C-alpha cells in the first residue's frame, strides 16, 4: 500500500481504533492456547479492544493463524490485519545453540544462517516478528539471561546483532520466508545490580555509550524493524518511560524509525518502579517517551483517550505510533496478503528438514569450548568408555527460550553414540538427576522432578560400577535448561549438589574423567577442573546436540569455540570481564607485588578461563608478530601480521584475535579491546601468516566529552589465542 494511503487510513480511523492498534495480547485471547512469557495480572482488556488489537504474541501454526486472521479482518472496521510476534531466540522448531554458545563460534555469518532457518520455519507457521536478537552486553554470570546474549564484548555483540538481523529480515521483510526482527532490551538490561533479575542499572553515560549501546546501534544500522524496551531503570528512570533514551538517543541520534514495543507489562510496571502514580499516568509517561506497542496490559486502551482529551498526550503522537505499526504491516505485505508465508504444506516440508538440522549440527560443533584437555580427548577406539551423568540420555538440551523445541526432535548423547557403538566399547549410567532434593530451589517448582532417595542411591551405585569398569569416564554435568534464562538469577555459580556428589564418587574410583558441561552461563568450575582431565563446554547445544558432541569426542571434529564471556574463578570475582581498566595501582601477578595493589587477598584477579579462551585438539603456536609500520596518521592504515602454526597431530580451526590497547586517553582506557578476529584452519604441521588491517576508525572510543573519536598517542597491538595474550608491538597515531 502506498504511503499516502497509509496516512489516509490513519486519518479515517476513530480515536478508539487507533488506540487499540497499539495493544498487543497473547493468542490466548483468540484461541484456547498460548505461550505465556510473563505474569498475567488483572488488565481490563475488553472485547472491543481485543477485536481491534494491533498484534498478538504467541500464535503458532499456519492453520490456526489463518483462521484467526480471517475472522479478525472480517470484523475489523478498516480490514487492518493482525501482526503476529513470538520469541524465536535460537530457532523455531530446529533449535540452535543458545546465543551465548553462538557467540562462542566467533562466526556471525553462521548465526546469520541460523536466523535464516529460524525465519523460514517461523514464517510458514504464521509468525511475522521475532523478539530477537537480544544484544544486552553481559559481565555478570549471576544474571540468568546471559544465556541469551552473545557475551561481554561490545564488538562481538555488535557483529552478531548485525548478522542475526540480516538473517531474520533479509533485504526486506516482505520477501518470502523473512520475518521482522526486534532488538532488545533497550537499554543495558544486562547490567543489573548484584546480577539480580530486573534490578537497578546504574551506568555512567560514558560507559553506557561506549560499551552498552553500540550493539543495539549495530542492529539498527542493519535495519532492524523493531526495538523492545527493557524492564530496568537506567540511572533512576525506567527505560519504558525514558524519553531521553527512547526519543533523544534511539530515534534522534540512532535514527531508528521503526516500532518501539514495551517488554511484557513494562508500562504497568512504571507504577511498581514508583515512576507513575497510577496506570493512567503510566500510559501518559510511556506514550510521551515514545513506546508504540503496549505488551499485554491494556493500559493504553483504557487511558489514552482521556489523556489525549485532557491534553496530557498529543494525538499526533498516537498517530505517529499507529503509522509506524501500519508501516511494518505494510512492509510485510500483510495488507495485500494477510497470510504472508503461512502454509500448512510448507510447514510439514520445511520444519526440521535435514538441511536445517545440518545447520544446527554445524553451529553446535563450532560453539563447543574445550576448556581443559590433558590428552584424555578425543576418545580412542581401544578405550572402554563409560558415559555417566544426568545428561547422558537428556533431550531437553536446548535452553529456556526454546519453547517450541521438543525432546522427541532432539538428539541426546546416547542417541548420538549409537552410530559409534560398532567401533567403541561404551556403557551408559545416569548416576543422578540434574537436580537432587537439595537443589530443587534452582528451578521453578513445576519443572522439578522429585526423586526418592533409594532411586538416587541405586543410580549412584550403578554409575560407580560403570566407572570402575571403564578406561575413561565421560562425565556429563551442568545446569538444567531452566536454571538460566529470565528470572533465573543465582548467587552461587557451582554445580547442583547432587552432581557434585556424583563427581566426587566417580573421581574416587576412576580419575580418568572428561567432563561434558551443559550450561547457560559461566560457572565456578574450580572443583570440576580439579577432578577432571578435560572439560568440554557444550552450553545448551540444541536439536543436534548429541551428534555434535560425539563428533567432537571421537575427534571427527576438533573443538574450536572461544569463550564470549569470562568464566570467573569464583562468584566473588563477578562482574569480571577482560576489558577492565588498569586502576592507579594495577596488579600484575608476575611481579609478586601484592601490597597496595588492586587485587584480592584470597583469590586471583584473573578469571578461571578468560574471554576468547578455548583449546583445540590441534596445538597452535604464534610467532613473528609485526606491524607494517610504527607510525600512522588518521588517513592511513597499518597492518599487523602474525604467523600461526599447528604443531599438533590433529587438524584444527583457531580464532586468531586482534586486541588493541590505547595507552592514554581523555578517559581511562581498558587493558585491551577486541578489534578483530579471523578463523584459520590448519592441518598438522601447516603454518599460515594472518594479517589484520588497523584503521583510525578502530581506535575511536567515547571520549570525555561523550563524542566518539580517536586520540593521538601510543597504542599496543596484541594478536593471539585469547584475551590473556601478553606479547604486543607498538605504534603511534599522530
Interacting residue ranges for ligand GLC, rule: CB under 6 A: 37-38, 57, 87, 131, 184, 263-264, 486
Beta bridge partners of 534: 373, 514
Closest contact distance (angstroms) between CB of 41 and ligand GLC is: 13
Instruction: State which residue, 487 or 668, has the beta carbon closest to ligand GLC.
Output: 487
38 vs 648, beta carbon nearer ligand GLC: 38
Name the minimum Å distance from CB 121 to ligand GLC. Answer: 18
Region of 720 please: left (phi>0), alpha (psi -120 to 50) or beta: beta
Alpha-carbon distance 208 to 93, whole Å? Answer: 35
CB 261 within 8 A of CB 286: no
Catalytic residue among 159, 263, 343, 439: 263
Which 3 state secondary structure label does DSSP give 382?
A: coil
C-alpha distances (whole Å) from 665 to each of 629, 673, 700 are 22, 14, 11
Q: Cα(640)–Cα(705) distance, rounded to whole angstroms?
A: 30
Give the Cα separation of 199 and 234 in Å (integer): 10
Give the residue with the Cβ less far from ligand GLC, 118 or 608: 118
Residue 153 beta carbon to ligand GLC: minimum distance, rounded to whole angstroms = 21
Minimal CA–CA distance to 436: which of 489, 505, 512? 505
- What is the secondary structure of 669-733 as a DSSP string? -BS-EEEEEEEEEE-TT-EEEEEEEEEGGGG-EE-TTS-EE---EEEEEEEESSTT----EEEEE
With contact defined as beta carbons under 8 Å apart, do 123 and 343 qualify?
Answer: no
Alpha-carbon separation of residue 103 from 161, 164, 238, 347, 649 (angstroms): 10, 11, 28, 29, 27
38 vs 575, which CB is nearer to ligand GLC? Answer: 38
Smallest distance from ligand GLC to CB 37, Å: 3
- Cα–Cα distance for residue pair 207/202, rounded to 1 Å: 10
Contact 182, 225 (CB under 8 A): yes
Residues contacting residue 221 through CB under 8 Å, at least 6 positions apart: 162
The radius of gyration of the chain from alpha carbons, rounded to an integer in Å, stands at 26
In the complex, the smallest distance separating the C-beta of residue 642 from ligand GLC, rounded to whole angstroms, is 40
The grid coordinates of residue 510 equal: 576412576
Q: In sequence order, what are the residues at sequence separation of 6 or more whose Cβ sits closer than 8 angstroms to the Cβ of residue 332?
A: 83, 128, 173, 174, 180, 340
- Shortest gap between Cβ of 24 and ligand GLC (angstroms)? 9
Three-class HEC string of 131-193: CCCECCCCCCCCCHHHHHCCCCCHHHHHHHHHHHHHHHHCCCCCCCCCCEEEEEEECCCCCCH
In the complex, minimum distance from the CB of residue 89 to ligand GLC, in angstroms, rounded to a whole number: 8
SS3 string, 101-121, reads HHHCCCCHHHHHHHHHHHHHH
Nearer to ligand GLC, 85 or 503 (CB): 85
> Of 19 and 226, which CB lies nearer to ligand GLC in the complex structure?
226
Least distance between ligand GLC and beta carbon 401 (Å): 8
Q: How many angstroms separate the first and last alpha carbons of the chain?
A: 53
- Pairing state of beta strands 637-646 and 620-627? antiparallel
Task: Select the residue whose beta carbon is closest to ligand GLC and give its number.
Answer: 37
What φ, ψ does residue 676 adopt, rounded to 5°? -175, 160
Q: Please list, in sequence order, all residues whose beta carbon lies within 8 angstroms of the beta carbon of residue 13, skipping any fewer than 6 positions away.
A: 21, 77, 78, 322
Residues 702, 705: Cα–Cα separation, whole Å: 8
Residue 296 CB, shortest distance to ligand GLC, in Å, is: 8
C-alpha closest to that of 22 among 272, 299, 251, 278: 299
Task: Tell me how far CA of residue 385 lies from CA of 58, 421, 522, 528, 554, in angstroms.
Answer: 44, 11, 27, 19, 11
Identify the three-state secondary structure at position 564.
coil
Selection from 668, 563, 6 nearest residue 330 by Cα: 6
Nearer to ligand GLC, 131 or 428 (CB): 131
Minimum distance of ligand GLC from residue 131's CB (angstroms): 3
In the bound complex, what is the minimum distance in angstroms from residue 363's beta carbon to ligand GLC?
21
CB contact at 8 A, 721 and 658: no
Closer CB to ligand GLC, residue 129 or residue 618?
A: 129
- The nearer residue to ligand GLC, 225 or 263, going by C-beta atoms, is 263
Q: List the beta bridge partners of residue 653.
A: 681
Q: Is 679 exposed, middle or buried (0-12, 13-18, 19+ CB in 10 A)?
A: middle
Q: Please, which residue, 136 or 479, has the CB nearer to ligand GLC?
A: 136
Identify the bridge partners of residue 717 per DSSP, sorted by sequence position: 660, 729
Instruction: Give 148 or 343: the residue with its C-beta nearer to ligand GLC.
Output: 148
Query: Which of residues 53 and 307 has its CB atom nearest to ligand GLC in the complex?
Result: 53
Q: How far is the CB of 111 from ligand GLC (least distance, A)?
A: 18
Least distance between ligand GLC and beta carbon 320 (Å): 23
263: annotated active-site residue: yes
- Residues marked active site are found at 263
Amino acid at each position: 500500500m502506498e504511503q499516502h494511503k497509509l496516512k489516509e487510513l490513519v486519518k479515517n480511523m476513530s480515536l478508539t481504533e487507533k488506540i487499540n492498534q497499539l495493544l498487543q495480547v497473547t493468542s490466548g485471547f483468540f484461541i484456547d492456547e498460548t505461550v505465556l512469557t510473563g505474569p498475567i495480572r488483572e488488565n481490563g482488556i475488553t472485547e472491543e479492544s481485543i477485536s481491534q488489537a494491533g498484534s498478538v504474541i504467541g500464535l503458532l501454526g499456519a492453520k490456526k493463524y489463518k483462521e484467526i486472521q480471517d475472522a479478525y479482518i472480517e470484523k475489523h472496521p478498516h480490514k487492518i490485519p493482525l501482526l503476529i510476534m513470538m520469541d524465536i531466540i535460537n530457532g523455531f522448531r530446529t533449535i540452535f545453540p543458545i546465543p551465548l554458545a553462538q557467540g562462542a563460534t566467533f562466526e556471525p555469518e553462521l548465526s546469520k544462517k541460523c536466523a535464516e532457518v529460524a525465519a523460514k520455519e517461523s514464517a510458514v507457521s504464521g509468525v511475522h516478528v521475532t523478539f530477537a536478537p537480544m544484544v544486552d552486553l553481559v559481565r555478570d554470570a549471576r544474571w540468568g539471561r546471559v544465556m541469551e546474549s552473545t557475551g561481554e564484548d561490545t564488538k562481538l555483540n555488535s557483529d552478531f546483532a548485525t548478522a542475526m538481523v540480516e538473517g531474520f529480515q533479509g533485504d526486506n521483510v516482505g520477501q518470502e520466508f523473512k520475518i521482522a526482527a526486534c532488538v532488545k532490551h533497550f537499554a543495558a538490561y544486562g547490567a543489573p545490580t548484584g546480577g539480580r533479575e530486573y534490578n537497578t542499572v546504574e551506568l555512567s553515560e560514558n560507559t553506557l555509550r561506549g560499551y552498552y549501546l553500540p550493539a543495539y546501534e549495530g542492529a539498527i544500522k542493519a535495519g532492524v524493524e523493531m526495538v523492545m524496551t527493557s524492564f530496568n531503570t537506567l540511572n533512576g528512570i525506567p527505560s519504558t518511560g525514558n524519553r531521553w533514551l527512547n526519543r533523544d538517543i534511539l530515534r534522534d541520534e540512532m535514527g531508528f524509525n521503526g516500532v518501539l514495543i514495551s517488554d511484557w507489562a513494562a508500562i504497568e510496571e512504571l507504577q511498581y518502579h514508583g515512576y507513575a502514580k497510577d496506570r493512567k499516568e503510566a500510559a501518559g509517561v510511556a506514550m510521551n517517551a515514545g513506546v508504540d506497542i503496549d505488551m499485554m496490559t491494556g493500559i493504553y486502551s483504557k487511558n489514552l483517550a482521556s489523556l489525549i482529551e485532557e491534553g496530557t498526550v498529543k494525538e499526533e503522537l498516537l498517530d505517529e505510533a499507529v503509522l509506524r505499526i501500519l508501516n511494518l504491516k505494510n512492509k510485510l505485505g500483510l495488507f495485500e496478503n494477510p497470510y504472508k508465508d503461512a502454509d500448512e504444506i510448507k510447514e510439514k516440508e520445511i520444519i526440521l528438514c535435514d538441511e536445517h538440522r545440518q545447520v544446527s549440527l554445524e553451529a553446535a560443533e563450532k560453539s563447543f569450548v574445550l576448556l581443559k584437555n590433558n590428552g584424555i580427548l578425543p576418545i580412542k577406539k581401544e578405550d572402554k568408555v563409560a558415559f555417566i551423568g544426568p545428561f547422558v540420555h537428556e533431550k531437553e538440551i536446548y535452553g529456556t527460550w526454546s519453547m517450541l523445541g521438543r525432546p522427541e526432535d532432539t538428539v541426546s548423547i546416547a542417541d548420538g553414540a549409537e552410530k559409534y557403538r560398532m567401533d567403541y566399547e561404551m556403557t551408559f549410567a545416569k548416576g543422578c538427576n540434574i537436580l537432587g532434593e537439595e537443589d530443587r530451589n534452582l528451578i521453578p517448582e513445576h519443572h522439578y522432578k522429585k526423586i526418592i532417595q533409594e532411586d538416587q542411591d541405586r543410580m549412584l551405585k550403578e554409575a560407580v560400577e560403570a566407572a570402575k569398569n571403564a578406561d575413561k569416564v565421560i562425565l556429563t554435568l551442568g545446569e538444567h535448561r531452566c536454571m538460566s534464562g529470565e528470572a533465573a538469577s543465582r548467587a552461587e555459580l557451582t554445580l547442583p549438589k547432587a552432581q557434585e556428589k556424583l563427581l566426587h564418587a566417580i573421581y574416587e574410583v576412576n580419575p580418568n574423567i572428561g567432563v561434558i558441561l551443559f550450561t547457560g552461563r559461566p560457572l565456578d568450575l574450580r572443583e570440576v577442573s580439579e577432578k577432571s582431565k578435560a572439560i568440554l563446554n557444550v552450553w545448551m547445544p540444541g536439536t543436534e546436540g548429541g551428534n555434535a558432541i560425539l563428533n567432537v569426542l571421537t575427534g571427527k571434529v576438533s573443538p574450536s569455540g572461544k569463550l564470549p564471556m569470562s568464566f570467573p574463578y569464583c562468584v566473588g570475582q563477578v562482574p569480571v570481564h577482560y576489558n577492565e581498566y588498569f586502576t592507579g595501582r594495577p596488579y600484575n601477578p608476575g611481579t609478586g607485588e601484592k601490597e597496595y595493589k588492586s587485587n584480592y587477598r584470597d583469590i586471583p584477579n584473573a578469571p578461571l578461563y578468560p574471554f576468547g579462551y578455548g583449546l583445540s585438539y590441534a596445538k597452535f603456536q604464534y610467532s613473528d608478530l609485526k606491524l607494517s609500520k610504527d607510525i600512522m596518521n588518521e588517513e592511513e592504515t597499518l597492518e599487523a601480521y602474525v604467523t600461526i602454526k599447528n604443531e599438533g597431530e590433529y587438524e584444527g580451526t583457531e580464532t586468531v584475535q586482534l586486541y588493541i590497547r590505547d595507552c592514554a586517553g581523555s578517559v581511562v582506557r581498558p587493558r585491551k579491546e577486541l578489534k578483530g578476529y579471523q578463523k584459520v584452519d590448519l592441518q598438522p604441521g601447516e603454518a599460515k601468516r594472518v594479517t589484520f588491517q588497523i584503521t583510525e576508525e578502530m581506535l575511536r572510543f567515547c571520549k570525555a566529552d561523550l563524542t566518539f573519536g580517536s586520540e593521538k598517542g601510543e597504542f599496543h597491538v596484541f594478536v593471539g589465542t585469547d584475551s590473556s595474550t601478553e606479547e604486543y608491538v607498538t605504534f603511534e597515531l599522530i
